[in-house]
Chain A
């Protein structure tokens, strides 16, 4: 069973979202997602200054199996992208919830966080969708 930490929210597209102390939100993909994708070879981050709307395909993740879009789980302006992934995309595989974070966003509507699943709901979602 893949790991689902209790300190953040989750989307149905297998992204996690964590509200930070400074009001920014950090976004990444879940342990389940990195496992399903296989070893990552490339992460294409959004351009500096990008504004993301919830549901936008904003990041492209390429693994040995496939290239997949990551959809913005909430809306906001890009504050920071994890530059370390340019040289070490495998950080997402090794540490999907810590060192392998993707972007930080300044949320335009923090209430969108409430629409996401908590850890229990996401674990349930995983159990149901894998049959």
Chain B
């Protein structure tokens, strides 16, 4: 590595005095809880810290530095103004336990965010508390479970997932004590309706769907699917991962969905990657509203108030200590206020235009596009299977070679249904020049795959590290650094 880890920069006694705590340590701690050893921390100067983390940030691929067409992740630009406004001192210095009358401005923003999210999804109630997409999914399926339990139908424990679904969907079903039942996709990319009819029944709790699907196409039979599942007594769960394609154009509620989660860090442009933090807001229709996680922001006359367990006794409970990732919610709020309804429609228009432009350009350049007869949503799949057969150069080799050419790799080997695939999502924030340059890079890599495959197999050559041994990394997992003379051992 070109940069040592911070402990390797450490020297005994070195410190950054300007950041030492001003107040003396608490004196009234019970003796049995006091530690006897110094904590194992690096001893470094302020300048060393600044340089170390600045250098690390420069080694990274990021939206701020590179095109990042990571399919299914919606890696769009995060406007600076959202950060700036969310960091106003009135927001960041507000104590989460401050009396509500001292935080009316913050609560008003959250209340309006709930309303705007209702408008763009068609759902009747929103809870902002889930801390990430996975927690949003958990909340959604927990509500479906609570709904069936409340109706005395606790035998409904099967969650149907299409084979193209996000891996998180069956995982969520399992986490919530349900069983995932997989159904296949038809040859045109839509759900196999006959297979769906065969699996629904008195054990059906619901179905989890992404629309547009992970295959990059709009599920055209969505109303039939809703009909089949509802008639069987199940509910429809909308995984909001791909909302960017339909924002302002189609409402999940109109498609028949009962519950949705939204990744604000995707569609609503809050930071993600490297741990986010994320936000997995959930929305529901009338029948699931009583089960929403708390707190929710309500209104009592002129005042904004917290609605808690006392107001909503059937709630599935709390998912975060206070109000989810409040700073992230504020960023999404600013983003939506800046764009307005018209702007949000333009988001989906340009996201789909960019995806379709890129798909056509790659097709014209001779790449094999999956579901080529269908229009792309906000993302699409290129299969490199024939190139791999002829040259031995795999999708992973293409991904590595793209890094050398200034592009983050698209998603590789997902969805699993398509061999040697790249899942490409340009988002609305890229220019045509950038998309053209990306096509040129893929064409160049393909040419080299035939002419001099060794150069592609050697990629990346310009990154801080070359090919990593990902097999050894999993087999001999070692993620905790310890000094040679670890005093805690």
A binding-site residues for B, Cβ under 8 Å: 36, 39, 41-42, 64-66, 68, 89-90, 131
Q: Is B59 an interface residue (CB 8 A)?
A: no
Query: Can you show 5 pairs from A to B with CB atoms below 8 A apart?
Result: A41-B471, A41-B474, A64-B470, A66-B416, A68-B416
Which residue in A36, A42, A68, A131 is a CB contact (below 8 Å) of B474? A42
- Within 8 Å CB of B419, what residues of A? 36
B19 at the interface (CB under 8 A from A): no
Distance in angstroms from A87 CB to nearest chain B CB is: 9
- For window 223-254 of B, CB contacts with A under 8 Å fall at none
| B398-416 CB contacts (< 8 Å) to partner A | 413-414, 416
Within residues 408 to 432 of chain B, which ones have a CB less than 8 A from any CB in chain A? 413-414, 416, 419
Q: Do A41 and B475 touch across chains, with their CB atoms under 8 A apart? A: yes
Which A residues lie within 8 Å of B413 (CB)?
Answer: 65-66
CA distance A42 to B419 in the complex (A): 21
Q: Which residues of B contact A36 (CB under 8 A)?
A: 419
13 other contacts beyond A41-B475, A66-B414, with CB at 8 A cut-off? A36-B419, A39-B471, A41-B471, A41-B474, A64-B470, A64-B471, A64-B474, A65-B413, A66-B413, A66-B416, A68-B416, A89-B475, A131-B385
User: Using Cβ atoms and an 8 Å threshold, which residues of chain B touch A65?
Assistant: 413
Q: Which residue of A lies closest to B470 (CB)?
A: A64
Using CB atoms, name the residue of chain A closest to B394.
Answer: A38
Contacts of B475 in A (CB 8 A): 41, 89
Measured between alpha carbons, how far is A89 from B419 in the docked complex, in Å?
23
How would residues 196 to 210 of chain B score, 1 for a CB under 8 Å from any chain A CB and 0 otherwise?
Answer: 000000000000000
Name the distance in Å between A125's Cβ and chain B's nearest Cβ.
Answer: 16
Count of chain B residues near A, Cβ 8 A:
9
Q: How far is the CA of A97 from the CA of B362 in the complex (A)?
A: 40
Bound: A66/B167 CA distance, A: 10
Q: Report Cα–Cα, A41/B416, bound state, in Å.
A: 18
Chain B proximity of A17: nearest CB distance (Å): 23
Complex Cα distance, B420 from A65, in Å, reads 11
Q: How far is the CB of A64 from chain B (nearest CB, A)?
A: 5
Residue of A nearest to B414 (CB): A66
A22 to B419, CA, bound (A): 39
CA distance A41 to B385 in the complex (A): 24
- When distances are taken between beta carbons in the complex, the residues of chain B under 8 Å from A66 are 413-414, 416
Quick one: closest B residue to A93, CB to CB? B471
Instruction: Give the residues in chain A near B416, CB-CB below 8 Å.
Output: 66, 68
Closest to B474 in A: A41
Complex: chain B residue closest to A87, CB-CB: B475
A41 to B470, CA, bound (A): 10
- Distance A65 CA – B419 CA, assembled complex (angstroms): 11
Quote the shortest CB–CB distance from A39 to chain B (angstroms).
5
Scan B357-388; emit 1 where CB is below 8 A from any A CB, else 0. Answer: 00000000000000000000000000001000
Q: CA A90 – CA B385 in complex, angstroms?
A: 24
Query: Which of A41, A66, A89, A90 has the largest count of B CB atoms less than 10 A from its CB?
Result: A41
The 6 closest A-B pairs by CB, nearest first: A41-B474, A39-B471, A65-B413, A64-B470, A66-B416, A41-B475
Contacts of A89 in B (CB 8 A): 475
For the complex, give the distance between the alpha carbons of A42 and B476 in Å: 11
Chain B 462-476, CB-CB to A under 8 Å as 1, else 0, gives 000000001100110
Taking CB atoms, residues of chain A closer than 8 Å to B471 are: 39, 41, 64, 90
A90 to B475, CA, bound (A): 10
Within the complex, the shortest CB–CB distance from B355 to chain A, in Å, comes to 24
Docked pose: A39 CA to B419 CA in angstroms: 16
Using CB atoms, name the residue of chain B closest to A39.
Answer: B471
Residues of B within 8 A of A68 (CB): 416
- Residue numbers in A under 8 Å from B474 (CB-CB): 41-42, 64
B contact residues around A64 at 8 Å (CB): 470-471, 474
Q: Whole-angstrom distance between the alpha carbons of A13 and B117 in the complex? A: 43
A33 to chain B, nearest CB (A): 13
Complex Cα distance, B333 from A101, in Å, reads: 55
Cα distance, A82 to B471, chains bound together (Å): 21
Kindly identify, within residues 467 to 489 of chain B, every residue whose CB is under 8 Å from any CB belonging to chain A.
470-471, 474-475
Q: With CB as the reference atom, state the residue of chain B lying closest to A65.
A: B413
CA A123 – CA B414 in complex, angstroms?
Answer: 26
Which chain A residue lies CB-closest to B389?
A: A130
Contacts of A131 in B (CB 8 A): 385
Give, as a whole number of angstroms, the nearest-CB distance from B180 to chain A: 10
Question: Measured between alpha carbons, how far is A6 from B377 in the docked complex, in Å?
Answer: 46
Contacts of A41 in B (CB 8 A): 471, 474-475
User: In angstroms, how far is the closest chain A Cβ from the Cβ of B140?
Assistant: 23
Closest Cβ–Cβ distance, residue A107 to chain B (whole Å) = 26
Most buried by A among B416, B419, B475: B475
> Which residues 437-470 in B have Cβ within 8 Å of A in the complex?
470
Distance A64 CA – B412 CA, assembled complex (angstroms) = 12
Distance of B108 from chain A, by nearest CB (Å): 45
Q: Which residues of B contact A39 (CB under 8 A)?
A: 471
Chain A, residue nearest B386 (CB): A131
